[in-house]
Amino acid sequence: MSERSGLVLEHERQRIGLKPRFSSKQHKAVIESSADVPEMEPLFNMPLNQVGITSKKVWVNIPQGCLPFSAELVVNLPESFKGIHMSRMERAISRLYSQQFEDIRYYSQVLCREVLSRQRGDQAEIHISGYIPHVGQTLVSREKSIDTLKISVHTRGRKKDEKIATVSMLGMSVMHITACPCTQTYNSALFPNADPLLLPTHSQRSITTLIIEDQKGDITFNDLYLCLTSSVHVTQDLLKRPDEAELVLSCHSKPQFAEDVVRMVCLQTGKRLGNILPADSRIRVESISMESIHLHNVKCAVNCTLEEITSRMT
């Protein structure tokens, strides 16, 4: 096996048609004598904000394994250049393939510097997203449940005097269940003597995302996980009947609108990270509720700074 890949590199040498039609010397002579098209003057001198590659699959070596992630790499292009050097982006990705990273945030930062150092622009953005395994344990049966977490990172880089500074936004999404407090409250009037836990209401699967600006590497994805899971009723793939019963009772005892979910994630983020991150750290929380009795879904989101959260905490 080669470089932890699923294919043996030697197989490449056995493929028919891999022999070059022209010699390396001939290709070198053409390169030296031909114009470098991306360096040419464009027909219309208009600067471009984002040029690059998207829908790219990258393989990143992190503690969970060599995992695939979707990536988008873009740089700005000054007005006097026709195009970017696209192959240099792919070469940067290839150079990082065998390196080990603590998480995808550090991969994206290294990739951002690699890309920006080899382009004419002075700004770059790297967006990476994908899934990692999460080994959870059920509440009652104590069974092991192999679940999935979606994580993402959006890194921005700026080049000044040949120095490149980066800032990253870390993101994580969790699946959870909500019970509607509105229907439950209405039914409490219809059934005034009923146990509140037994009042009928509709429930739905939801996905909530927390994105936090990490300017200095002060937090990890585990911090995002704790902020999220302390705010919602998390679902799992493996649930025995006692686990299912406890989860359903839990979400019905503390019913939530999508609005409640977003606000609770903000509150937990402020409690857990208020003394760790700078006050001006940007935060986004978004919750999508896949409604069970409606044809539409429900969306709720907030964009704010950490200070806007902590200033409202009592």
Answer whether residue 292 is part of any domain.
yes
Answer whether residue 204 is part of any domain.
yes
Answer whether residue 97 is part of any domain.
yes
Answer whether residue 13 is part of any domain.
no
Last residue in a domain, options 105, 134, 160? 160
- Residue 245 phi, psi (nearest 5): -60, -45
pLDDT above 60: residue 60: yes
pLDDT above 70: residue 5: no
For residue 172, the model assigns a pLDDT of 98
Number of domains making up the chain? 2
Residues 179 and 311 both lie in one domain: yes
Domain that holds residue 208: 174-314
d(CA 202, CA 284): 27
Question: Pseudo-torsion of CA 92, 94, 100, 102, nearest 10°?
Answer: 50
Last residue in a domain, options 132, 160, 188? 160
Residues 191 and 227 both lie in one domain: yes
- Residue 160 phi, psi (nearest 5): -145, 125
What does the block give as tokens for 162?
């040949």
d(CA 258, CA 22): 62
pLDDT above 50: residue 47: yes
d(CA 179, CA 305): 29
pLDDT digits (tens, 9 = 90+) for 171-221: 999 999 999 999 999 999 999 999 888 899 999 999 999 999 998 999 999
Residues 94 and 210 both lie in one domain: no
- pTM of the entire predicted model: 0.91
Round to the nearest angstrom and report the end-to-end CA distance of the chain.
Answer: 58
Answer whether residue 9 is part of any domain.
no
pLDDT digits (tens, 9 = 90+) for 225-239: 999 999 999 999 999
- Under a CB-based contact definition with an 8 Å cutoff, are residues 218 and 212 in contact? no
CATH of the domain at 310: 3.10.270.10
Residues 149 and 222 both lie in one domain: no
d(CA 231, CA 214): 21
pLDDT above 60: residue 2: no
Q: 229: which DSSP letter?
A: H
Angle at 100 between CA 94 and CA 104, to 5 degrees: 85
Residues 102 and 213 both lie in one domain: no
Last residue in a domain, options 160, 195, 210? 160
pLDDT above 70: residue 8: no
Residues 67 and 116 both lie in one domain: yes
Residues 140 and 232 both lie in one domain: no
pLDDT band at 11 (very low <50, low <70, confident <90, very high): low
Give the count of beta carbons closer than 10 Å to the beta carbon of residue 113.
20
Residues 208 and 72 both lie in one domain: no
pLDDT above 80: residue 169: yes
Answer whether residue 168 is part of any domain.
no
The proportion of the chain whose per-residue pLDDT surpasses 70, expressed as a percent, equals: 95
The mean per-residue pLDDT over the stretch 83-107 comes to 96
Residues 71 and 115 both lie in one domain: yes
Residues 150 and 180 both lie in one domain: no
Residues 126 and 204 both lie in one domain: no
Residues 201 and 292 both lie in one domain: yes
Answer whether residue 192 is part of any domain.
yes
Answer whether residue 19 is part of any domain.
no
